[in-house]
């Protein structure tokens, strides 16, 4: 369907406004700078002319001149599950709320890698990492350029990086103890490839709790943090030696595993307990009622935005590593 043909117009500049209002460009600049010396009547006249012409100060010029860019990149990775997408959405809102512009980079590794080189041409105030696999490389590139890096969801031991991360090991250790107290003895785990750093941490927490009780992991499966991969991993595990608890590195996989067990008619939690990590909204739905570990997104976002602000304010402040507390959410699958 065709519609109106439009004309492309040149952007209105301060000079245009100055001419229209019969003042100098300096005056126009002052009219848009709070707390600057300018006759009140003149200021009003300028703002009126600006509004009439549709003038907005060009951010590029202001930034080039030395102003804040307010640009913050988010390296979001592929966002394969709802938790990652929720975090990304919440980060965007949180950054908007503190007056920053999140410039989001997502998609597969090749696209992201290509994007990185180019996005660094923009004067970023910070780079937020949520990707997983490319993190070290990105952090190195940023460090070279003096762009502050905030890694969330995985701890990067590099100078020039602030870290925000939930207590993966503690959370999963608590979960392990809960299962053991509930009488479970043969515990299987569904983790992820090395690029999912948190999977390794969570596994470690579980193993620690098991060891303390004189137990070891019964089986180890590899997932991909998606529902489908949890479904498949559970099927693989069922083909092996029996187990009475299935600990998944995240809720998406736990929900997938739950579905598989239901399909096979295996009673949960009577025969096998199934638990996850994150406490996504879905985990609370009656259809799943999943026992899990709460990984609070709001706290994460607050911590990250706070870190962004403090880092921008004091670029030389020491690096920080902030841990976010998690807590057991006992529902019906353990």
- Nearest approach in angstroms of CB 294 to DNA is 44
- Is 227 among the residues that bind a copy of itself (CB under 8 A)? yes
Please say which residue, 211 or 262, places its beta carbon nearer to a copy of itself: 262
**240 lies in the binding site for a copy of itself (CB under 8 A):** no
C-alpha atoms less than 13 angstroms from C-alpha of 330 in its C-beta half-sphere = 8
Query: Closest separation between CB of residue 102 and DNA, Å?
Result: 22
Give min distance, CB of 303 to a copy of itself, in A: 13
- Contact status: 296 vs a copy of itself (CB under 8 A): no
List the one residue out of 317, 303, 296 whose CA is nearest residue 161.
317
Could you give the dihedral angle defined by the CA atoms of residues 59, 62, 63 and 64, in that order, rounded to the nearest 10 degrees? 120
Residue whose pair of structure tokens reads 């590593």 in the numeric block: 321
**Would you give the DSSP letter of residue 63?**
H
Binding footprint of a copy of itself, residue count (CB under 8 A): 77
Token pair 């006759």 is found at: 39
Q: How far is the CB of 241 from a copy of itself (least distance, A)?
A: 25
Considering only the stretches 1-9, 42-50, 208-216, 234-242, report the one whose residues sit in contact with a copy of itself under the rule CB under 8 A: 1-9
Question: Is 215 a residue that touches a copy of itself (CB under 8 A)?
Answer: no
35 binds, among DNA, a copy of itself, none (CB under 5 to 8 A by kind): none
Nearer Cβ to a copy of itself (131/218): 131
Query: Using the rule CB under 8 A, which residue among 106, 153, 171, 269 binds a copy of itself?
Result: 106
The stretch near a copy of itself (CB under 8 A) out of 94-102, 165-173, 203-211, 270-278 is 94-102
320 near a copy of itself, judged by CB under 8 A: yes
**Tokens encoding 142:** 């940023």
Residue 295: count other Cβ atoms within 10 Å of its Cβ.
Answer: 26
Burial of 328 (0-12, 13-18, 19+ CB in 10 A): middle
What is the signed CA dihedral for 303, 304, 306, 312, rounded to 10 degrees?
160
- Report the alpha-carbon distance of residue 167 to residue 325 in Å, rounded: 6
Query: Does position 1 bind a copy of itself by CB under 8 A?
Result: yes
Q: Does 291 bind a copy of itself (CB under 8 A)?
A: no
Q: In terms of CB distance, is 180 or 290 closer to a copy of itself?
A: 290
Q: Does residue 312 bind a copy of itself (CB under 8 A)? A: no
Residue 28 beta carbon to DNA: minimum distance, rounded to whole angstroms: 7
CA 263 to chain centre: 33
DSSP string computed for 228-266: HHHHHHHHHHHTSS--SEEEESSHHHHHHHHHHHHHTT-
Q: Which of a copy of itself, DNA, none does residue 92 bind to, with CB < 5 to 8 Å depending on kind?
A: a copy of itself
What is the rounded end-to-end Cα distance, in angstroms, of the chain? Answer: 57
């Amino acid at each position: 369907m065709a519609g109106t043909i439009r004309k492309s117009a040149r952007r209105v500049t301060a000079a245009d406004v100055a001419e229209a209002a019969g003042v100098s460009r300096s005056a126009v600049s002052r009219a848009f700078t709070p707390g600057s010396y300018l006759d009140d009547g003149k200021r009003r006249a300028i703002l009126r002319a600006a509004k009439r012409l549709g003038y907005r100060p060009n951010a590029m010029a202001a930034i080039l001149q030395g102003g804040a860019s307010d640009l913050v990149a988010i390296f979001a990775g592929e966002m394969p599950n709802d938790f990652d997408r929720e975090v990304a959405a919440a980060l965007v809102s949180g950054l908007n709320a503190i007056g920053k512009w999140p410039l989001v980079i997502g998609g597969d590794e090749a696209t992201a890698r290509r994007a990185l080189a180019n996005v660094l041409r923009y004067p970023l105030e910070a780079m937020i990492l949520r990707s997983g696999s490319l993190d070290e490389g990105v952090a190195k590139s940023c460090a070279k350029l003096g762009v502050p890096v905030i890694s969330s969801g995985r701890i990067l031991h590099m100078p020039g990086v602030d870290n925000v991360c939930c207590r993966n090991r503690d959370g999963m250790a608590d979960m392990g103890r809960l299962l053991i107290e509930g009488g479970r003895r043969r515990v299987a785990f569904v983790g992820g490839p090395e690029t999912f750093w948190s999977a390794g941490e969570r596994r470690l927490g579980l193993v620690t709790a098991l060891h303390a009780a004189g137990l070891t992991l019964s089986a180890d499966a590899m997932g991909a943090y998606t529902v489908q991969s949890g479904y498949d991993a559970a099927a693989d595990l069922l083909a092996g030696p029996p187990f009475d608890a299935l600990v998944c590195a995240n809720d998406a996989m736990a929900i997938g595993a739950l579905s598989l067990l239901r399909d096979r008619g295996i009673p949960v939690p009577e025969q096998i307990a199934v638990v996850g990590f994150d406490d996504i909204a879905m985990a609370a739905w009656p259809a799943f009622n999943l026992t899990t570990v709460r990984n609070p997104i709001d706290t994460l976002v607050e911590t990250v935005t706070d870190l962004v602000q403090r880092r921008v304010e004091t670029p030389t402040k020491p690096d920080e590593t902030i841990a976010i507390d998690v807590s057991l959410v006992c529902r019906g699958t353990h």
